[in-house]
Structure 1
Amino acid sequence: MFRPVLFFILAIFYTASADSRQIDRMIAQAWEYYEQGKIVKMEQVSREILEQSKKINYPKGIAEGYYYLGVAYYSLGDKAKALQYANKALEYTKHYDNYRWKAYAYTLAGEILRSLRKYDEAMANFKKALELIQKNKNEKMLPAGYANIGNIYYEKGEYKKAIEYYRKGLEAGKKVKIRPSYLALDSYNLGLAYYKLKNYTEAVKYLQYAYNIYSELGDKNSAVSAVYYTAKSYYKIGEKEKAEKILKENLDSARGTKLYRFYVRLLKKVEK
């Protein structure tokens, strides 16, 4: 049920020629396809971005073309090809001073390596990304930068270290205007880490905060997951009535999700 923080949204602006303006529009379209879950279309547009950018030697399009292709292939499950494009992005961006390009590429490589359980390599990439973010004082990129490192510690079972970085990410996110989903994700993962440490009271606090945001955003699956672990935490500390109440309140929402049978099973336990 652990949820990784993935990628940064690219938002870089240039004085552009007619051709490069068209490429910029394609870049915006590619990310829109990603957010809509239309990954095949994203891959097709990203490939066109890269080809057209190489023709006119447009650095932004080349850097982001490699990055977007990496994200697309990762989303399609082709991790080998995704890592290939992440490395191409890293190789290309080392010739430029744009720290954002480098941070995006390191983050993508780190996320792919994390998914392959190559934790030391993933951590090295995430730390390089965080160093660039901190050095350039980009407060909006800090929450994801911290959370990605927290994810590695979480998956290695080092929950206290994970909590340290998740908390830094959450605190950094509250100081700036970022997408609420980032705050929810950091809080959700904090709750899970506390749950793993059997600190159920703290787990409830952060899971409920995440649930409130997910509910406002209409993210049904994430809200259902936050409720499930909140109920489990209540059950663990003997507050069965609270566990029963929130499970019943959200049972209809859970119907049709992967967690529905777990809801039912937990509800039977708390009702005994």
Structure 2
Amino acid sequence: MKNRKPYQNSVVLFLVIGILFLLVLFPMHSPGKSQKGRFKAIIDLLFQQKRYDAAEACCRRLLGKPQKQCYRCLGDAFFNIGDYKKAGEYYRKCEYTEGHLRIIDVYLQMKAYERALAYCEKLQLISPEAYGQMVHRMGIAHFGLGNYEKAVEYFEEAMPSAPRAAAYERLAEIYHQKDNKTSAKIYYNKAVRDYEFLLKHFFYEWKNEYITPLRRCIARRDQYEKTAGEKEKQVLLNRVLQGVGKYCQKMKNSAFHFFCQEEIVELIDFSVEAAHIEKIPKEYRGIEVLPWIKNTYLYEYQLIKEGKEINETRTLIKQNSFKKNQADAPLLTRGHKYEKLIFGPLALLSEFWQYRFYFNVLREEKLWGEDTAVIEAIPLHLYAQNHLFGSIWISKNDFTVLKIQWNPRSIGRSHQIEKKARALDAAPNITFFAEFREKKRGIRFPSRYYLEEAYINKKGKKYVRLRQDVTLKDYMFFVVASEVVETKPGTLKRR
């Protein structure tokens, strides 16, 4: 506090006293928030204002366990702004195993890999149970030192991660340089699997970082000779992609005019969140607690496609058992909006989009009595807007699309779902698919669209926050012309 005027010191003193009052007394009035969470919120606020000295003063004036928790939060705050020396200083003061692990993270960020490994050895003696949390860090340290084989040994004990994928790729390159093609291919395959995992599970966080390495590893792996099984899968994949590409083009060139019944059952349940929120005084909530809601809708759905023009309209027949007969009605669902379900396959499997995805054959199986190839699409392109991807069931006979099951992480709001799961101390459990059972003149039409957002707590209990079950049935077809010459609206001609 050098060169400070007396009144400035007084301001800091009053600020610290006020914050300590909040830290010590506020817990009695906000049981919905942990003490550590309160420390973090206040320290983050002070760091946004660059009041680092006030944040440090807060922790120094606490005692016992609260002080250690405060030091941990203070260490995180300095770590996040890149002041690793200061972060390490406060992690040492918090004395928890978690604090020791964060000291290792500080060494890794400073590229002090040997010191990180030495600290890992020390921590194993103090807290042997922390080994599982250290293996990934030891892998990063060995990778930083160029000990790639040793890094991979440790990474193999940990979950898939970007450093592990990078270690696999680097080891593959080394084997390639030594002309050891068998080992190079093995490690390129492992790198591809880890990059796939990252994109499937953390797509919107890391898409810009890991799509390029995935492309690179696929290209290098594919230089090597394939096994008989790999060749067989590739032949099937090529045949299916070529066939479904033509099917998508057929849909694009077709004309449609049809009606169907669209039944929607929607459940929105905020009761678990409400129980959590109601512990917090109203003045601190910031949101309104809503009751459990169940809605049912019956629409007469109509779609007309002529050339590039697509018109989708609905007449609301019933809402929650009340007759409506409302023409040109909007889709009244509250949880999730959707449109033009019939064209779902085009955004994954048309010739334009096929070049922007990496496809795998997962398995072959029967669905509704039909032989299908189940393939998986993983993005290989960068884009700003949301784009769904996942697994697709494709007929091996006519290459029509029977079902699409979207990867939950490809949903644009998946980061919000993750945030809500952390708040509920539960794991997200998302089910999201579309089925296309109705078939007319070689074109499949949607029969079901299902989305469930659920959370499973540590006891295994499932809480369904949102369920939307859409059934489309009783189709009436007026036009399904699969090879249409594009003309002016109102003058459809079939070849």
TM-score range, shorter chain: 0.5 to 0.7
Is 2:220 the partner of 1:236?
yes
Pick the structure with more strand per residue.
2
Q: Which moved more, 1:202-211 or 1:245-254?
A: 245-254
Q: 1:155 to 1:66 in 2, by over 3 A?
A: same
**Which AA in structure 1 matches 2:161?**
S
String of CA shifts for 1:218-260, please: whole Å, max 9, x gaps.
xx24133232211110111236x99864497522149xxxxxx
Instruction: Choose the corresponding residue for 1:27, options 30, 36, 57.
Output: 36
Q: Counterpart of 1:251 in 2: which secondary structure? A: coil
Give the whole-Å Cα distance in 1 for the aligned partners of 2:115 and 2:87. 15
Q: 1:19 to 1:63 in 2, by over 3 A?
A: same
Match in the other structure for 2:72 = 67
Match in the other structure for 2:136 = 147
Match in the other structure for 1:163 = 152
Task: Quote the RMSD (CA, aligned, Å).
Answer: 3.7
Residues 151 and 167, structure 2, Cα contact 8 Å, conserved in 1: yes
C-alpha displacement of 1:196: 0.6
C-alpha displacement of 1:129: 3.5
Give the whole-Å Cα distance in 2 for the aligned partners of 1:234 and 1:154. 22
Give the whole-Å Cα distance in 2 for the aligned partners of 1:122 and 1:243. 43
For structure 2, the 5+ residue unaligned runs are 1-22, 173-186, 224-237, 239-353, 359-377, 386-495
Is 2:113 the partner of 1:119?
yes
Instruction: Choose the corresponding residue for 1:207, options 195, 208, 214.
Output: 195
C-alpha displacement of 1:203: 0.7
Give the whole-Å Cα distance in 1 for the aligned partners of 2:42 and 2:215. 35
Instruction: Choose the corresponding residue for 1:108, options 77, 81, 102.
Output: 102
Q: 1:197 to 1:243 in 2, by over 3 A?
A: farther
Percent of pairs identical after alignment? Answer: 15
Match in the other structure for 2:9 = none
Match in the other structure for 1:14 = none
**Which AA in structure 2 matches 1:189?**
P
TM-score between both structures, scaled by the size of structure 1: 0.59
Count matched residues. 196
C-alpha displacement of 1:214: 0.7
C-alpha displacement of 1:126: 2.7
Residues 200 and 236, structure 1, Cα contact 8 Å, conserved in 2: yes
Q: 1:62 to 1:159 in 2, by over 3 A?
A: same
Match in the other structure for 1:87 = 92
C-alpha displacement of 1:127: 3.2
Match in the other structure for 1:11 = none
Give the whole-Å Cα distance in 2 for the aligned partners of 1:243 and 1:196. 26
C-alpha displacement of 1:31: 4.1
Residues 39 and 75, structure 1, Cα contact 8 Å, conserved in 2: no
Match in the other structure for 2:169 = 195
Is 2:226 the partner of 1:226?
no
C-alpha displacement of 1:153: 0.8
**Which AA in structure 2 matches 1:78?**
D
Residues 49 and 61, structure 1, Cα contact 8 Å, conserved in 2: no
Q: 1:43 to 1:164 in 2, by over 3 A?
A: farther
C-alpha displacement of 1:204: 0.5
**Which AA in structure 1 matches 2:193?**
K
Match in the other structure for 1:181 = none
Q: 1:38 to 1:223 in 2, by over 3 A?
A: farther
C-alpha displacement of 1:152: 0.4
Residues 26 and 45, structure 1, Cα contact 8 Å, conserved in 2: no
Q: 1:28 to 1:201 in 2, by over 3 A?
A: same
